[in-house]
Amino acid sequence: MLIAMPNRRQLFTVLAFVVTFLMTLALLQHTHSIPAIKEALRPKPKPDPEPPASTHHPKHKQPPKYTPPPIKDNFPLLATSTSPPPIPSWNIPRPNLHKEHNLPVPPPLLIGFTRTWPLLQQSVVSYITAGWPADQIYIIENTGVQMANARGQLTLQNPFFLNHTVLRTLGVNIIQTPTLLNFAQLQNFYLSLSYAHDWPYYFWSHMDVLALSYEDGLDGVTPRYDEPGYKALYELAVTALAEARRSDPRWGLRFFAYDHLALVNPVAYEDVGGWDTLIPYYITDCDMHSRLTMRNWSLKDAKAGIITDVSVALDDLGALYRAEGVVPRFTDPNPPEEGAPSRRTRRNVNNNTPSSQLSAREPGITPRDGTAEHDLGKWRALLHTADGMFHYKVSNKGGRNTWQTGQRGGYWEPYHYDAAGFQEALEIITEAGKEVYRHKWGHRDCDLIEGGGLTFEDQWGVERDW
């Protein structure tokens, strides 16, 4: 085999390589390593400057003079059990009740939650014990805390605390919003769920209500709980839904107990373009309901039960299950300081109970178990307490908020947000929304149709009328 002898030019190239290699080697020798070379080439960082010493000192707000006591869990029965107690037998709905009314799907009930767990828990339990099937109840967790509640990372004193375990034990569904939504956005989120789940209708209610069936009967609506033909809250709601669908092709909304519970026709919502999310809270209902009326969708009242607006929760939700020995009562979660002038509500205080407990009249003699007096006695005590809660809320209006300021812990927990700041910010956004409404309709009040003479086409197209 012949090996060609390199010519001079080739020799020169090889020589050049060798020389370059040796020089590189020498350089490496000098600097020890390649990282050292890189280090040597990097521009020298400037030394960290001292943080500028501000001459401005922020003036901190006065801390609240009074801290309310921590809130307590109000469902002791569930803490020691893996299943909820049985509901009053007369409120248990017949299986597939919706089919008796030719309804294609069982009606869902949506309850949105942002803060104040004891109230949500009370609202949910009151609907379940009034007969609404738990598996048709959807809790919409709208806390803005991402997975923190699902992972059990928040504690009871955190305003945004919600206990997934408890809700699962109760058998209700939980849906989480991807971010904190305002009221109008939440309503549109409900509408989006109707598409995702193929719901031709849905009910929604508030997390701060207490629902009771008409267990002592109501003329023209339902006989008493122990009489034939008795209809619990759920059955009356289903009946009203079936009636709306049967008799009114343009049914839009049905309201129960003002708007404490509402039944929605998603087709009507879609027809008017949903809720206006630029009017996020207060007066957005005037905007939406007027637009529905302008487009000839019907908004009517119907009756399903006694649904009370409350700001406090029962000390023990066992009362809603009519648990023996549990007297329905509630505690002021934000009692006045020692020596503070007594408030109107404190006149209700029963001297035999701890001073902060506002209690229902306790029945003098407990009638025999299983008799109508016994059952109705418990129900009336609940109704009386719900009434006391309502008056407590009304008397507290404009004064100190109750839960909103009472539950303010959880400092180092994920997504912590200052409780009072949250409230303050909501009020600012609410005001801004009212201003949007005024610009949109040229009218300041709720009465867009009668008072303003406005039509659907007038949105954003009229001058102010004041």
Ligand X SMILES: *[C@@H]1O[C@H](CO)[C@@H](O)[C@H](O)[C@H]1NC(C)=O
Residues that bind ligand X (CB under 6 A): 78-79, 152, 163, 165-166, 295-296
Q: Select 104 or 152, whichever has its Cβ closest to ligand X.
A: 152
User: Which residue, chain included where needed, has tokens 């992972």?
Assistant: 151
Q: Select 295 or 384, whichever has its Cβ closest to ligand X.
A: 295
* DSSP secondary structure code for residue 340 in this structure: S
Neighbours of 465 (CB within 10 A): 14
Using alpha carbons, select from 395, 403, 393, 402 the residue that is nearest to residue 342. 395
- Smallest gap, in angstroms, from Cβ of residue 154 to ligand X? 7
- Smallest gap, in angstroms, from Cβ of residue 317 to ligand X? 12
Q: Select 387 or 458, whichever has its Cβ closest to ligand X.
A: 458
- Smallest gap, in angstroms, from Cβ of residue 166 to ligand X? 5
Q: Which amino acid is at 313?
A: A
Structure tokens at 412: 């180092």
Q: What are phi and psi of 149, to 5 degrees?
A: -75, -40
- Smallest gap, in angstroms, from Cβ of residue 126 to ligand X? 18
**C-alpha distance from residue 98 to each of 94, 101, 242, 256 (Å):** 9, 5, 9, 19
Strands (E), 145-278: 173-176, 202-205, 209-212, 251-256, 261-264
Q: Select 215 or 316, whichever has its Cβ closest to ligand X.
A: 316
Q: Select 122 or 213, whichever has its Cβ closest to ligand X.
A: 122
Query: First CA to last CA across the chain, in angstroms?
Result: 109
Q: Select 295 or 444, whichever has its Cβ closest to ligand X.
A: 295
- Smallest gap, in angstroms, from Cβ of residue 71 to ligand X? 12
- Smallest gap, in angstroms, from Cβ of residue 118 to ligand X? 12
- Smallest gap, in angstroms, from Cβ of residue 249 to ligand X? 11
- Smallest gap, in angstroms, from Cβ of residue 31 to ligand X? 58
Q: Select 163 or 213, whichever has its Cβ closest to ligand X.
A: 163
- Smallest gap, in angstroms, from Cβ of residue 147 to ligand X? 13
- Smallest gap, in angstroms, from Cβ of residue 163 to ligand X? 4
Identify the H or E element spanning 445: none
**C-alpha distance from residue 370 to each of 93, 131, 365, 367 (Å):** 20, 19, 15, 9
Q: Select 167 or 381, whichever has its Cβ closest to ligand X.
A: 167
Q: Select 78 or 237, whichever has its Cβ closest to ligand X.
A: 78
Using alpha carbons, select from 315, 399, 390, 402 the residue that is nearest to residue 68. 402
Q: Select 10 or 165, whichever has its Cβ closest to ligand X.
A: 165
Q: What are 210's strand-pairing partners?
A: 308
Q: Around 280, how many Cα atoms within 13 Å sit in the side-chain half-sphere? A: 12
For the chain, helix, strand, coil in percent to 5 are 40, 10, 50
d(CA 438, CA 451): 14
d(CA 113, CA 117): 8
> In degrees to the nearest 10, what's the CA dihedral of 325, 331, 337, 342?
-90
Using alpha carbons, select from 84, 161, 74 the residue that is nearest to residue 117. 161
Contact (Cβ atoms closer than 8 angstroms) between residue 112 and residue 209:
no
